[in-house]
Amino acid sequence: MKLDTIATRILGSRWTLFRAIVWPPDAFALAFRLLDRSGAYMRLVDGDNSGNVCLSPREGRAWPDVAASVGIQWRESVAQAMRRAGKLSGARTDLTRSLKGMRLPPHVKDAWRKIRAAKDVRLDQVGETDELVIALVQLAAYADEASSGFGLRMHRSDSDPASVLADLALRSNRWQSLCVNADSDVVCVLPKQHTPQRGLTVRSLSHHLAVCAAGEVQISWEPPIDSPLSDTDHVNLLLVPWPFAMGRRQFRPASHPTPGIAPIAAPFRYFSYDPTGHDDTCDNLIDAVQRAFERALEHVDCVDMVVLPELAVGPQELAQLERLAFERGALLITGALLPDEPRDPKNVAVIQNRSYSVRGAEPEVKLRIAAASGNESVALAQGGLQQAKHHRWCLDAPQIRQYGLSGILSPLIDWWERSQIGTRQIHFTTMARWLTICALVCEDLARQDPLSEVVRSVGPNLVIALLMDGPQLSGRWSSRYASVLAEDPGSSVLTLTSLGMSILSSPAHGFRAPDRSRVVALWRDVKRGTVELELGPDEEAMVLTLSRSSIEEFTLDGRGDGSVAHFPIYAGHHCLDLQRPKKSVP
């Protein structure tokens, strides 16, 4: 396959024209894909071709300084073109027209000419030509530097023209890509928060832009709006491990999934789970969450996010919970089981991601602001984003014994969760320039499928895994996979299971004494390491405080990011007794 074939797929038949790459994310999409498909980026660490030597042979400055300078020039060229264009409608043709006649920096032109001249080079020969490898890496670096902060514009009053155009490009691409000319049905370019500092992959080439192949995984980058967190260096998470008590009869044998679905394996059967069948000590979930908010505010100044585990709620509770979080000004992330007759129920993560932006406003004002945010799917309560679980849970013999289910589900066969397997999708939500979050449901944390590659490409600051699992101990599976993401790309990870499910995993059913069943959450970051979060005998929830830590990350070609790589770090937690009378808050 020739270079021209790949370029035509991404930018169309007129890819050789200068206007095809005037917008940095478009140029990055092409250069990155060619380096990735050819493997030519490996030349940067191959003997005499060490980055700083080959990338700026005629410059009197070090390569990182050259790349940063060109990036600034390119961004200013975009700004000048947008000022000439005036107000934009947001349509893709309008965005393309706004960049017409834009002057590219000479360095960008030079790299682009060399790439165009090599259009007949085969992909397997790209790495054999030093000049072409250098031009591709240079173009990718210039585009990356020019795109700093794209997709992270927290305040609508921010008048930076390039950032405004980035937001418009996201909107025109259904929140899936920053590109203007590159085909979002072929490749998606997204904002990026972390650059891997270990290993050697093409993802190590950029600080600010991530490339994801379009196709199986539906990606959504939710653009941020004004948030109080923009000016703070900490965030408070209210963790409610609902249900607090569970009955084993909430699990029961079920019929086969929707007719026509092929079997997974044999011999096997299916089980169903009823999230409403528990006998809890609290009146109901909404009362419990309300009390948790009240108790949390005895320890922290505000609650920025409320998190519940996998399968925590049904549809009626979800509507009330979304409204409660919305009114409290907290982002909501929860697991839910939603019926979808006549199909199987949906096991989903729900992200209600607009409420935190208007903390303190009256509910009607909040709804108006949310509706004006530009993403109608999250404008009202019960309109949160839904992200389906991608892997069914299989209860095997050890797990059936661990949870004491042998009297209901035979341990002689495997039992698969009866639920829909939806389209693979991932939503990224930004609460502050230093905090982009994504949620995973249970086994989605562990499976190395196409979704995991998207997470590693974007490098969100925080990954939250919603589990239906036993105690979150440092030696168990969830801790192992959290460590993988902490290593590459550098994300901090929180796992949360329900207290009721954890208690079912009593020492008599597979865990050694002492009883650790009240360890309902586990935290992992690159600085503090692993922290087990355990509730006391009379405690049902906790508030977790994370602080921001920033370090400098480096790309494969030696460019630093100026210490804008941010890490949420464990700063402490308070466990909450939801049964005692409320204390007055000073």
Q: Mind listing the pLDDT tens digit for each residue in 484-532?
A: 999 899 999 999 999 999 999 865 545 554 578 999 999 999 888 999 9
Report the range of poorest mean pLDDT among 64-73, 90-99, 423-432. Answer: 90-99
> Is the link from the previous residue into 514 a cis peptide, with omega within 30 of 0?
yes
Nearest to 390 by CA among 429, 423, 415: 423
pLDDT, residue 155, reads: 64
Band of residue 228 on the pLDDT scale cut at 50, 70, 90: low
- What is the pLDDT of the chain when averaged over all its residues? 85
Residue 42 backbone phi and psi in degrees, to 5: -65, -20
Q: What are the structural domain ranges in the chain?
A: 3-191, 228-576
- The more confidently predicted of residues 136 and 233 is 136
Nearest to 484 by CA among 440, 518, 516: 440
- Measure the CA–CA gap between 480 and 474, rounded to whole angstroms: 8
pLDDT, residue 361, reads: 35
The model carries a pTM of 0.89
pLDDT, residue 422, reads: 77
In sequence order, the 6+-apart residues with CB closer than 8 A to the CB of 455 are 426, 438, 440, 463, 485, 489, 491
Say what percent of the chain tops pLDDT 90: 58
- Measure the CA–CA gap between 381 and 391, rounded to whole angstroms: 27
Fold for the domain defined by 228-576: Nitrilase/N-carbamoyl-D-aminoacid amidohydrolase (3.60.110)
User: pLDDT digit string (tens) for 189-204?
Assistant: 999 999 999 888 899 9
Tell me which DSSP letter residue 513 carries.
S
How many C-beta atoms lie closer than 10 Å to residue 513's C-beta?
Answer: 8
